Amino acid sequence: MDKFFGLDKVGAHNEDAVLLTTVHDEVEKNLIVGMLEEEEIPFLCKDRGSGEAVRILTGFSVFGCDIFVPKAVYEQAAELLDAYRNADAAFADDEIVTDDEEED
């Protein structure tokens, strides 16, 4: 079905841009875009398939959004994205103390 709607491939984009990631969640998209803006990394968000039209009509799109960055800053952006996506591992050793445990 993806081939029918054109969702299986990256859409047309500038030759100087590299695909950083594809997101399917508006919250994750906003988090990644916010990190890129904070680091002053230029980017381009492009919806897949008819996602742009769907976003206008409904306010969101389930087709996915490709995030592109210039080739010159791809490594920096990829490291930033990896740090974000692997952040949960940093908290794996932390203990969560509940109210019941504090009373003991």
* pLDDT interval class at 74 (50, 70, 90): very high
pTM: 0.66
pLDDT of residue 11: 56
Please give the class, per CATH, of domain 2-88.
Answer: alpha beta
| Residue 93 CA to its chain's centroid (Å) | 26
CA distance 19 to 74: 9
For residue 98, the model assigns a pLDDT of 55
Return the higher-pLDDT residue of 17 and 102. Answer: 17
Which has the closest alpha carbon to 41: 79, 90, 1, 83?
A: 79
Q: Tell me the C-alpha distance between 87 and 99, whole Å.
A: 26
Q: Hey, where are the domains in the chain?
A: 2-88
Q: What is d(CA 101, CA 95) in angstroms, rounded to the nearest whole number? A: 11
Average model confidence (pLDDT) across the chain: 76
Measured from the Cβ of residue 20, the count of other Cβ atoms closer than 10 Å reads 21
Buried b (16+ CB within 10 A) or exposed e, 59-82: eebebbbbbbbeeebbeebeebbe
Among 4-8, 70-74, 94-98, top mean pLDDT goes to 70-74
Question: What is the percentage of the chain residues whose pLDDT exceeds 90?
Answer: 34
